A and B are shown apart, each in its own frame.
Chain A
Amino acid sequence: MEPVLEIKKVSLSIKHKEILDSINLTINKNEIVGLIGPSGSGKSMLMKSIMDIFKPTEGIVLINGKKLSKKEIGYATQENSIYENLTIQENLSYFGRLFGLKKSEIKKKSKEILPLLELEANKNRLVKHLSGGMKSRVNIACSLIHNPSILLMDEPISGLDPMLRKNILSLVGKIRNQGTTILITSHFISEIEPFCDKIGILSKGKLLDYGSVKELKYKYSKYYNVLITANTNEYQAIYDLLGKKIKISNAVIKNNKLILQIPKTNTINQYLLFIPSALGSLGERISNISITEATLEGVFSSLFKNGDG
């Protein structure tokens, strides 16, 4: 395991207010790490501390074992940091030059990035004439032009429609495959979950936990989700009947489905056998029943029930 980014006991205070509190985080080469946490938890401030925009009051950030070098980091901001009156290629060339790349290096890197981000066909179009999704891809392209070791993506899919979010996130995987380590923040937890190798959970400037998605789910999720599809008139009866036999922590009706949260006291298969029998004749009127492990979002919700960052 080769660490690319090491955050060691980083604290940040602004105007006597503690923003980050002794954060320790290591990201290895080719990992995609998601950083989640409620608003105000310090996700963006941690990114800015990594970028040295806000100098940590304590601690140190190392990139490839060395102190920060701007050339080693690519930063894709939430809002597209690109010039609207320049073409895609002009943006790439300009930012490439700012990072000290030669013309030939920019040309070579553009040939890699543009097809990767599906921008090749539009490289000579002005950014202002592009769609929102394309602009987001140009923003990422500009962050990659100087071939950084790590790409920081701050809420890269916020403000995009579901299709575009999916499209952008699919690119994250491709970028990693090109050899770039990625640190991504997002509040679309369920959408980034499949792409992340590790997740860091931030709250009130503290890193509550950091580990693989599976580890976190196992650690924090104490419930299964039971999804029952039936006539909506039956849901109250189902809930009442099951409630007498197993502990139901929570129940909601969503998309005409009854979702019940039940404790992880048995395996999924045991529950799949037990629930229909427990419902008796009522069970015959259920058209579908499925049981899933809690999502990362569920973990997140259980951790921050009160919306407390």
Chain B
Amino acid sequence: MGMDKIRHILIKNFKQILRTKVSSLIILIGPILIILLAGFAFNSSGLQGISVGMNGDMEDRLNKEIRDDLQNEGLGIKTYSNIKACTESVKSGENHVCLFITEKHPPSDLTFIDDRYDHNVSISADYSKTRIIWTVLNKVNTIIEFKSKEITYTLFDDLSGKITYAINELENKEDQIDQAIRTAENVAEQLEDAEGRVGILVEQTNNAITELNSLEIQLLSTVSEIESISGQTPQTQNMISTISTGVGSIKISLTNINENLNGMGGIHSQITYAKTNTENLVNQLKNIRSTLSKISNDFEDFKGVVAKDLMEPIQPEYSSVSGEKANAEGGLEYFDYILPGLILIVIMFSSILLGSTNTIGEKKNRAYIRNILSPTSTGTFLFGSYLTALIILSIQILVLLIIAKFIFFSPLDLQGITVPLALLLSSSLFILIGTVIGHIFKSEDTTIIASVSIGILLLITSSMIMSVETIPYFLGSIVSLTPFVLLEDILRKLMIFQLPLTSIFIEAILIIGYIVSFTIIAVISQNKTKYKETF
């Protein structure tokens, strides 16, 4: 009979809702609007409706290229003759950003390599438009950074070409130096040989001189002996004369030989000097060769380096921890990452408002007294009201998921039992919170204000608005236990990472604890207040 009563409470509730066109429209259209707006806002990479003010210098290549890139990204461009007018247009809301690109004067030599070098880029933005400004600035900065890198690559490519030319030239010069070293070494060897030969010749000449001197002495002795022999004969006289002449010739020869010997000594010294110099030259050439080799080798290290490596020496690779799935199905969009939070926001506000407005609406209904005077338990009405809200929520969530899946093509896997179970937990908890609010407050106005306030409080303390990790530890530890944060964590784990139920065990236990607590509070508050509003 209890279930039959609940069935009739449900029928009564739905008839009442459906016969109130405004409320039924809000129930269905509300979440559709939210998901469509959020979906189109976050799922679109285009920036339609964003306009950038620029200087209209059509002659300037950099200006033209950036303008074209911005237009290709879907941004609107308006041109201004001076930066003041452009900045004023941002203040008046005509443009979101003012981007002025002007050439530097005088230009540096690098402009001969790339004429886009040496520009001043001035960006003025309206930071009060907090939700959009960083998206716009990021887009503008991305385009400018890309252009800046393009210019740097051009410059580096030029530099790289020159380094390659230098390396090739050095390699050629190394061969020539090697050839010179070899030649110098041959010269040194030949000089050394000549030095030896001249030395031998000097020695032999010295020996000849010694022998000649000895011969001269012997001849002179012979002459003396002959002269001492009495009686010189003409023959003897001739002999002496001949010998004397011979001695004279020997003396002359010795003089000549000595002169030659002195000359040969000078030659020897010169050969020795030349040899030493040649050896020094070889050593110097070898040092030069070694230095050139080192320089060449050093340049060789840069030969394979491309501009990207030099400009971006560390190139991090980003991948999502939900990686495999993302890769397999073409990647998760920003919209997909916020979808769990978005669904939770809809569930939270819808559930709290449904729970509270159903409760206060029923309490304020004149027919309420007939309900509570009937032999039907408080729990039956509570369960009936909870089921009504849950069915409406289920329809809303279904609409949300259908839109996410078939309009925004979200690749999130929403099948299986885990996600519906988590959504059921979320809805149940927030409906019960709403029910308690509905019982505590006395008027519809204050109930709605309280519901919205609690919803906003839970939302503000969630990671959708601020990071729980960055607030002070004490507050953070409290905030991390709030229903929204716990449920957001559960949905994120289940919807994005596809983790098993065991991964959300603690969070689920806490949420079930909340549900049990709020059920008890709802029953107590209903029993305490049921007659107060009616009488």
- Residues in chain A within 8 A of chain B (CB atoms): 48, 51, 53-54, 69-71, 73, 75, 77, 79-83, 85-86, 90-91, 93-95, 97-100, 126, 142-143
Contact = CB atoms under 8 A, between A and B. Distances in A.
B374 A99 contact: yes
Contacts of A100: 1, 375
Nearest to A69: B375
Given A86-B16, A98-B5, A100-B1, A81 B374 contact: no
Given A53-B531, A95-B374, A90 B15 contact: yes
Interface in B342-384: 365-371, 373-376
B112 interface: no
Contacts of A80: 366
B367 A81 contact: yes
A81 B370 contact: yes
Contacts of A97: 4-5, 8
Contacts of B370: 75, 77, 81-82, 95, 98, 142-143
Contacts of B15: 85-86, 90
Contacts of B20: 85
A75 B373 contact: yes
Contacts of B16: 83, 85-86
Interface residues of B, number: 23
A139 to B, nearest CB: 9
Interface string B500-535: 000000000000000000000000000000010001
A77 to B, nearest CB: 6
B105 interface: no
A82 B366 contact: yes
15 contacts: A69-B375, A70-B374, A73-B373, A77-B366, A79-B366, A80-B366, A81-B369, A83-B16, A85-B16, A91-B367, A95-B370, A97-B4, A98-B5, A98-B371, A98-B374
Contacts of B376: 98
Contacts of B366: 77, 79-82
B531 to A, nearest CB: 5
A218 B249 CA distance: 204
Contacts of A98: 5, 8, 370-371, 374-376
B19 interface: yes
Given A54-B531, A81-B369, A82-B366, 13 more contacts: A77-B369, A81-B367, A81-B368, A81-B370, A83-B16, A83-B365, A86-B15, A93-B8, A94-B11, A94-B12, A98-B8, A98-B370, A100-B375
B106 to A, nearest CB: 82
4 closest A-B pairs by CB = A98-B374, A97-B8, A81-B370, A85-B19
Nearest to A90: B15
B495 to A, nearest CB: 38
